Amino acid sequence: QDGPVRMPSHAQCLADRTAIALSKASMAAESAAEYVLVDEATTSTSGAVLRGQTMQGNVPSASISPSSLWWHRHRPCLISRFGLFCLFLWAVFWVSLSDLRSSALSMAFAVANFWQYNVQSSEHRNQASFLRPAVQFSALKFISWGSASKVPTADSRPGCVFIHGAGSADAAPPSSTDPVYWGSVHLRMPQCAFHRFMHEDTLNVGWEDAGLQARVCTLCGAAAPGDNLSNVLIFTHSMGSLILAGALVSGRCALAASARWFAVASPWYGSRAADRLPEVCAGAPAPLDPALRELARRQRFCDGPNGTPSGAYLSLRTSNLALASLAPTLSRIDGTLCGGSAFGLWSFDSLGLQAMAEFTGFGEDNDGAVPTAGCHTAAAAPTPTSAHYTAAVNHYDVTCRHGDGSWGGDDR
């Protein structure tokens, strides 16, 4: 409406195009120069390639981001530091491989079981608070403390005998290892001239059985009834402690001054958890906690006639009057290890023992099966160098089957 549009002249258009081209060329040249300088500071070969491209007219794009420039400037330093960090992590893993492997397997089992029970029962949705890291010291440090720096000569080293507790159904000759029950404890005890692990039927037979007590004496070195057991270290777990104590009280063998006895998770006054097994086996009160039900199946609590409690577990009831006869042997024990945490280290037994402790209602510190106070035979301390050690572990952790911790406090 204001009149005809005035078109720019050909000369004006050419001048405008030339100015724009010069501006873009200047920006590209500056960016290319910076790119070449950065890469020369990092890799001479890359710099040469870029310089060749620039001289041939292949100028890199002017739109190089600041993050790309930062990466090219700092790449060598970052790569070298990352490599050293990875090397350090591998060294740490290699040094503690045996502990980390067992802890990782235990953690995996615990997480798998927790997920299973969380899906099956809403009652377990609050169990996450019990999942404490299995990176603490456990029973291995108590059993083997001092052994690495004070290894006796081969001629004077004692033999080491391990007596398991209730739940084993198969009798077999003794072995030099028992990783299923005792873990890798034999690898931590160079002070032993030999390692001898018992394999007896402790599922159907209680600790009072005379034949079982006699075989334990033979296992520990007695050549004849009443012999003294000398130059031997004896480790007994749970009902295994009662078997040996019963053998000593009955005179089937005796401990010489050179023999040492370490009792682990021992129910000297019986266990209220054993008192509740008839209810567990009957599934009452219904519905029974799925974690407890799985623990009872795995540990064979209810393998008696018609699904009743197994005979060995029944011998651990607090109403068993024979337990009082073992009192004279308690002063002969050189050390005790007792658990104070039903959950303990992360393992496939953690949730089951936690459920067992809640079902039993101990009302005091316990390892899921035995109260801590009823396990020790003298004043205890939460340090592994103490002769009587209370650890934040459960009834099965103390056998070392769930591995040792790698970091953390000595309370585990």
Over residues 88-117, the pLDDT tens digits come to 776 655 544 444 444 454 455 445 444 444
Grouping H, G, I as helix, E, B as strand and the rest as coil, residue 336 is strand
> Parallel, antiparallel, or unpaired for β 159-163 and 228-229?
unpaired
| Better pLDDT: 212 or 51 | 212
| Better pLDDT: 373 or 126 | 373
Q: Taking 50 as the threshold, does the pLDDT of residue 129 lie above it? A: no
Instruction: Please state the rounded mean pLDDT for residues 226-254.
Output: 97
The alpha helices in 154-289, defined as continuous H runs, are: 179-182, 210-219, 239-249, 272-275, 277-282
| Better pLDDT: 84 or 8 | 84
Tell me: the pLDDT tens digits for 292-304?
Answer: 999 999 999 999 9
Q: Taking 80 as the threshold, does the pLDDT of residue 70 lie above it? A: no
C-alpha angle 188-189-191 in degrees, rounded to nearest 5: 150
The pLDDT > 90 percentage for the chain reads 55
Confidence of residue 370 (pLDDT cuts 50, 70, 90): very high
Q: Taking 70 as the threshold, does the pLDDT of residue 6 lie above it? A: no
Q: In terms of pTM, does the model score above 0.75?
A: no
Rounded to whole angstroms, the Cα distance separating 132 from 143 reads 23
Tell me if 286 sits within 8 A of 293, measured CB to CB.
no
Instruction: Please state the rounded mean pLDDT for residues 356-378.
Output: 95
Tell me if 199 sits within 8 A of 165, measured CB to CB.
no
What pLDDT score was predicted for residue 83?
66
Question: Mind spelling out the 3-state secondary structure of 343-396?
Answer: CCCCCCCHHHHHHHHHHHCCCCCECCCCECCCCCCCCCECCCCCCEEEECCCCC
Instruction: Please state the rounded mean pLDDT for residues 389-396.
Output: 94
What pLDDT score was predicted for residue 346?
87
Tell me if 186 sits within 8 A of 140, measured CB to CB.
no
The pLDDT > 70 percentage for the chain reads 61
Tell me: the pLDDT tens digits for 163-209?
Answer: 999 999 989 999 999 999 999 999 989 999 999 999 999 999 999 99
Rounded to whole angstroms, the Cα distance separating 377 from 229 reads 21
| Better pLDDT: 210 or 92 | 210
Q: What is the residue whose two structure tokens read 């310089």?
A: 51
Residue 271's H or E segment, with its range, is none
What Cα–Cα distance (Å) separates residue 327 from each residue in 164, 232, 236, 317, 333? 20, 22, 16, 16, 11
Confidence of residue 156 (pLDDT cuts 50, 70, 90): confident
What Cα–Cα distance (Å) separates residue 310 from each residue in 115, 205, 213, 304, 307? 29, 9, 19, 4, 8
What pLDDT score was predicted for residue 233?
97
What pLDDT score was predicted for residue 384?
85
Rounded to whole angstroms, the Cα distance separating 222 from 256 reads 11
Mean pLDDT of the chain: 77
What pLDDT score was predicted for residue 287?
82
Instruction: Please state the rounded mean pLDDT for residues 376-390.
Output: 92
* Closest among 311, 310, 284 to 297, alpha carbons compared: 310
DSSP code at position 325: G
C-alpha angle 239-167-184 in degrees, rounded to nearest 5: 85
Instruction: Please state the rounded mean pLDDT for residues 38-45.
Output: 41
Q: Taking 70 as the threshold, does the pLDDT of residue 412 lie above it? A: no
What pLDDT score was predicted for residue 288?
86
Confidence of residue 85 (pLDDT cuts 50, 70, 90): confident
